[in-house]
Structure 1
Amino acid sequence: MKARTLVDSFHCAARGLYHVLRTQRNMRVHFIIAMAILLLAIRLRLARLEFALLFFAIALVLALEIINTAVEALVDIVAPAYHPLAGVAKDVAAGAVLISALNAIGLGYILFGERLGTYLARGIIRGQALPTTLLVAGSITVILGVLLARLAVSRCRAGNAFLPSGHAAVAAFLTILVAYISRNNPHTTALACLLSFLVIESRLEARFSTAWGVISGLLLGGTLGFLAIHLAF
Structure 2
Amino acid sequence: MNAPLIVVVGAGPGVSGSLARRYARDGYSVALVGNEEAPVRALAEELEAGGTAVQWAVADVTDTTAAASAITDLAAQAGRVDVLHFNPSAFRHKNPLELQVDELLADVALGVGALLTAVQAVRPFMSAGARVTVTGSMAADEPWSEAASLGVQKAGVRNLVHSLDATLKGDGVRAVSVTVCGTLSTEGAFTPDRVADALFVAARQDEDGWRAEITYEG
Question: More helix by proportion, 1 or 2?
Answer: 1
Question: More strand by proportion, 1 or 2?
Answer: 2
Higher relative contact order, structure no. (Cα contacts within 8 Å, ≥ 6 residues apart): 2
TM-score w.r.t. the length of structure 1 is 0.28
TM-score w.r.t. the length of structure 2 is 0.29
Structure possessing the higher radius of gyration over alpha carbons: 1
